[in-house]
Amino acid sequence: MASPKQVVEKIYEDISRSNLSSVLPILDEHITIYMASSLPDGGEFHGRDGFMSMIARRFQLWERFEKTSFQYFLSESESDNGVVVTGNLTGKLLTVSESIIMPFVDQWRLRDGKVIEYRVFYWDAIRLMQYIQPLSFTPSPSQNGSSSN
């Protein structure tokens, strides 16, 4: 079985190649994803459908979105299976002409080789909101991949 770090590395690689069909089997069917509810694409997402809902919202805001320069921090407890990843978010929102670059932190929890929890943290959420506001984005929760705001 792959290590937690290898699982997370594969997820980033597959997402960068837009290969979401390879990501879904790595996610536990009851995964919970947390993003700041103050962000238009944020909230609490449940299950694989919730993951797809989060990705769909991302594409409503971003023309280009990429995470790079990864640094991995592993839990010292073998039973925890936690991975924290830092790096840079580089992207272009649909509302602005210039690219945005900012640090991010992702926290992953795994069980039996599958992701059971994913938490997303952006360095400057207020700055991000200033760019996003011209879109007047009002998210609507999906039925299967429900989001709690």
Using one digit for the tens of pLDDT, what is the confidence trace for 54-110?
A: 999 888 888 899 999 999 999 887 777 999 999 999 988 888 888 888 899 999 999
Structure tokens at 113: 């080789």
Structure tokens at 144: 């299967």
* pLDDT of 9 higher than 80: yes
Which residues are CB-contacts of 61 (< 8 A; sequence separation ≥ 6)? Answer: 40, 41, 93, 94, 132, 135, 137
User: How many residues in the chain?
Assistant: 149
Residue ranges per structural domain of the chain = 4-134
Bridge partners (DSSP) listed for residue 63 = none
In angstroms, the CA 83 to CA 45 distance is 19
CB 72 within 8 A of CB 83: yes
Chain segment 43-63, per-residue pLDDT in tens: 999 999 999 999 998 888 888
In angstroms, the CA 35 to CA 39 distance is 8
In angstroms, the CA 16 to CA 18 distance is 6
Return the number of other C-beta atoms located less than 10 Å from residue 71's C-beta: 9
* pLDDT of 136 higher than 70: no
The CATH class that applies to domain 4-134 reads: alpha beta
Q: Residue 49's pLDDT is what?
A: 97
CB 110 within 8 A of CB 4: yes
In angstroms, the CA 94 to CA 10 distance is 28
Confidence of residue 111 (pLDDT cuts 50, 70, 90): very high
pTM for this predicted structure: 0.82
Structure tokens at 51: 């993951």
Residue 116, amino acid: I
